[in-house]
Amino acid sequence: MNTLTNNLLFGVVLSLVAFELGLYINRKTKLPLLNPLLIAIALVIAFLVAFNIDFEVYNNGAKFINMFLGPATVILAVPLYKQIESLKKHSKAILTGVFFGSIIGMFSVMGLSYILGLDAMIIKSLLPKSVTTPIGIELSSQIGGIVPITVLAIILTGIIGAIMGPTICKIFKITDRVAVGVSLGTAAHAIGTTKALEIGETEGAMSGLSIGIAGLMTVFIAPLSYSFGHYLYTIFIK
Amino acid sequence: MKLFREAIIILGIYLLGEFISEVLSLPIPGNILGMIILLFLLCTKIIKLEQIETIANFLLDHLAFFFIPAGVALMTSVDIIKDSWLKLIVVCIATTIIIIASTGLIVQYITRKNNKRGEKLEHINK
């Protein structure tokens, strides 16, 4: 067993098999809750725990997969570029909405986490939870969060957004196609966009566009928001 | 060979982003700078979409796979979230509702205002 797990390919093959299974289960059940990435992570963890294999042993090989994260972030410019014409058409509405939506989101994360008594480390990890995963990972490590918790929060947020998004829009009487798409993309990144595509073509395009814009804006806003939130906290509460 | 050429473009831009971020000690991560540089090069047509299409499709279509190791690392932070996973889910649900509602309402308000103004202009032009 050791000669098998100590091979660098072990982590890579295990991840590939787990992801294939995740995709298969997701295709069969079509449930947003059974997200392929979430299943794959759960399967790998279950496997490692069941066979008493250390994370480091898995990560020896699996860390090479992380090498793709950088280029994958750079390439996010491509979907943004493809939708740039629709951005120009509604630029004021989209940019204002994403900007304030992201700020309101981050302050509500900080406020609610404080009320619930969450640890500062966890609050930092939750701050980038609405952006697309590669950007969220980078942001989390930059502001001092715990990256795996951020990844979990990002996937959960995406699933929640996809499941509850249409109902939330109905309750708040958001019917405009652009507004529905932008709100899903801003709150729930790529998983929300899958839902937006189901609702309609305009909604999907707007949602896809918002992933990149929300990601870029959050990179600039998050460190400032966190410092400002922390400042308010020290003034009013301490 | 096309794939290698595409890889050179993307990795070159990524490296440039990392380099600028490091040298100027900017608070923006190198891969995000790379994304901004690539967007700029695409918009100015210095790089055409066809020149990076294969690698772009490969990375974008399989994006979720690359996050598996980062997610599996959760094993090592179980102690930290052991007592707060329920609160974590509550925060995720509540803030997702807040973001969808606020973003949606702001965008809808502005597009409707713009549409009304557009209709008025049309009316005057008639």
pLDDT digits (tens, 9 = 90+) for B39-64: 999 999 999 999 999 999 988 888 88
Q: Give pLDDT, residue A231.
A: 83
Contact B80 A169 (CB under 8 A): no
Using the Cβ of A119 and the Cβ atoms of chain B, whether some distance falls under 8 Å is answered with yes
Given pLDDT bands bounded at 50, 70 and 90, which one contains residue B124? low
Residues 6+ apart with CB under 8 A from A213: A80, A87, A94, A95, A98, A186
Closest alpha carbon within chain B to A185 = B100
The percent of residues above 70 in pLDDT, for chain B, comes to: 92
Residues 6+ apart with CB under 8 A from A79: A208, A209, A211, A212, B60
Q: Which residues of B touch A68 (CB under 8 A)?
A: 59, 66
Mean pLDDT of chain B: 88
Mean pLDDT of chain A: 90
Q: Give pLDDT, residue B35.
A: 92
* Two structure tokens written together for A156: 């959960």
Angle subtended at Cα B60 by Cα B57 and Cα B62, rounded to the nearest 5 degrees: 105
- Give the Cβ contact number of residue B64 at 10 Å: 20
Low-confidence ranges of chain A (pLDDT < 50): none
Q: Give pLDDT, residue B120.
A: 67
pLDDT reading at B91 higher than 90:
yes
Q: Give pLDDT, residue B126.
A: 55
- Give the Cβ contact number of residue A173 at 10 Å: 10
Q: Give pLDDT, residue A23.
A: 92
Q: Which residue among B43, B75, B84 sits closest to A81, beta carbon to beta carbon?
A: B43
Q: Which of A74, A95, A98 is best to mutate for the B interface (most B CBs within 10 A)? A: A74
Cβ atoms A54, A47 nearer than 8 A: no
Q: Which of B18, B22, B91 is best to mutate for the A interface (most A CBs within 10 A)? A: B91
Task: Give the side-chain half-sphere CA count within 13 A for A217.
Answer: 22
* Two structure tokens written together for B72: 């599996």
How far is residue A220's CA from residue A102's CA, in Å, rounded to a whole number?
A: 11
Q: Give pLDDT, residue A223.
A: 84
Residues 6+ apart with CB under 8 A from A171: B101
Given pLDDT bands bounded at 50, 70 and 90, which one contains residue B34? very high
Residues in chain B: 126
Q: Give pLDDT, residue B125.
A: 60
Q: Give pLDDT, residue A232.
A: 81
Question: Which ipTM was obtained for this model?
Answer: 0.89
> Judged by CB atoms within 8 Å, which residues 190-229 of A form the interface with B?
190, 212, 215-216, 219-220, 223
Cα distances (Å, whole numbers) of residue B43 to A77, A85, A190, B35:
10, 11, 23, 12
Side chain identity at A221, as an amino acid letter?
I
What is the pTM (predicted TM-score) of this model?
A: 0.88
How far is residue A77's CA from residue A57's CA, in Å, rounded to a whole number?
A: 34
pLDDT reading at B106 higher than 60:
yes
Q: What distance lies between CA A234 and its chain's CA centroid?
A: 29
How far is residue B87's CA from residue A190's CA, in Å, rounded to a whole number?
A: 24
Q: Which residue among A55, A133, A137 sits closest to B72, beta carbon to beta carbon?
A: A55
